[in-house]
Amino acid sequence: MKPLEGLLVLDFSTLLPGPMATLMLAEAGAEVIKIEPPTGDAMRSYEPKWGQDSAIFAMLNRGKQSLAVDLKDTKALNEILELVRKADIVVEQFRPGVMDRLGLGYAALSQINPQLIYCSITGYGQIGPRAGDAGHDLNYAGDTGLLALSMGDVSHAVLPPTPIGDIGGGSFPAVINILLALEDRRRSGSGRHIDIAMSENMFVFSYWALAAGFSTGRWPGNGTDLVTGASPRYHVYATRDKKALIVAALEPKFWTVFCDVIGLREALRDDEMDPLATMMEISRIIASQDSLTWSQKLVGRDCCCSLAAGLEAAVADPHFAARGVFAAQVVNESGDSMPALPTPVIAAFRMNCEGQLNAPSLNVGSLQIAENSKHAKTN
């Protein structure tokens, strides 16, 4: 039995933060009913298409049920309220006040179901001067100083490779706090309203910079610190064939091995003396050989160095294959299958009690919009 089996989740969210959070709840056994407008979640139309819906939509919404509802229709709203009476969790990510105006805010629903755990995911939270502001992930990274720590030259700034705010500031905190609220409800018998503000949750990723700024008054700048490009020990170097060699040899034991592998002369091994000189010499050495040569030289050398893999190559890595990371499949209405998104919840249940790998049984179809108040399980 999965730990959340028997719990009912009503998911009013769209796009990424809420759907990824409820995906993890579904992976842990909860029944998730995704409430969509009559035309469907906008993400269904995203490219690339995979069957009748987008591939992204299929990845984020497998294992859920779908209910197409016009929330402004009184009859449909009453039917939603009947579901609320049986629900354990509600997840929504409208701007503050929208659910209240629809008659679906926490104050109204908690009167119907006092044990309801109601999770609101927004950019800036339910209260505060910016609570009603529009924003997306990049705004949250910029608003909280995270982007300024390592974006390079602003004329061609380097953007984060993933929506950190949506996932790290929205989905993960939502799941964590929902689970905490479930434990609290088990003890107290009462539900609660959870206010997830994606922007403020970005500050946790700057823990090291905040520690420096608060303790010394000297705030890290753009690429000026240990983990943002200023250290030769934590850097990306270009090989002769323009591949990326990742060096993360922070500890002395790793740094010593790395210096031995590349043959860095003794005068530059104390990188605190002249970090720039050390970095320039390492750049010259790495650029003198191609990636295959460095790959061969690093075999068996324990120094936290590796060549950056493309995503296609990473997915095919024998290590991830051996651990069954992409073993689960999602199946659409045409019977086509592709690997399911490996959430942290899947990872937790991938091993059986003997420590052997299990292939998760997550072969589900793409969601079908149900008519009016009827909801349809995935194929």
Question: What does pLDDT average to over the chain?
Answer: 91
Six-digit token string for 279: 């970095």
Mean pLDDT score, 247-269: 97
* Across 351-371, average pLDDT: 43
Boundary of a domain, candidates 288, 311, 334: 311
Residue 334 inside a domain? The answer is no
For residues 343-348, average pLDDT: 76
| Per-residue CA distances from 186 to 7, 67, 116, 117, 182 (Å) | 13, 29, 12, 12, 6
Average pLDDT of the segment spanning 35-56: 93
The CATH number of the domain holding residue 121 is 3.40.50.10540
pTM: 0.90
Q: Give yes or no for a contact between 122 and 131, defined as CB atoms under 8 angstroms apart.
A: yes
Q: Per-residue pLDDT averaged across 174-195, rounded?
A: 98
β-bridge pairing 234-238 and 65-68: unpaired
Active-site residue among 41, 88, 166, 271?
166
Q: What is the mean predicted confidence (pLDDT) over 24-49? A: 94
- Average pLDDT on 30-56 reads 94
Say yes or no to pLDDT of 362 above 80.
Answer: no
Over residues 17-45, mean pLDDT: 95
Q: Is 270 assigned a catalytic role?
A: no
Q: Is 36 exposed, middle or buried (0-12, 13-18, 19+ CB in 10 A)?
A: buried
Domain span at residue 85 reads 8-198
Q: Does residue 168 sit in the same domain as residue 232?
A: no
pLDDT at 349 (0 to 100): 61
Q: With beta carbons less than 8 A apart as the criterion, state whether 286 and 237 touch.
A: yes
Same domain flag for 103 and 236: no
- Residues 151 and 191 both lie in one domain: yes
Residue 248 and residue 174 share a domain:
no
Instruction: With respect to residue 328, please indicate whether it lies within any of the assigned structural domains.
Output: no
Does residue 50 contact residue 24 with C-beta atoms inside 8 Å? Answer: no
DSSP letters for 80-96: HHHHHHH-SEEEE-SPT
Same domain, 187 and 234: no
Do 231 and 166 reside in the same domain of the chain?
A: no
Domain match, 191 and 245 both: no
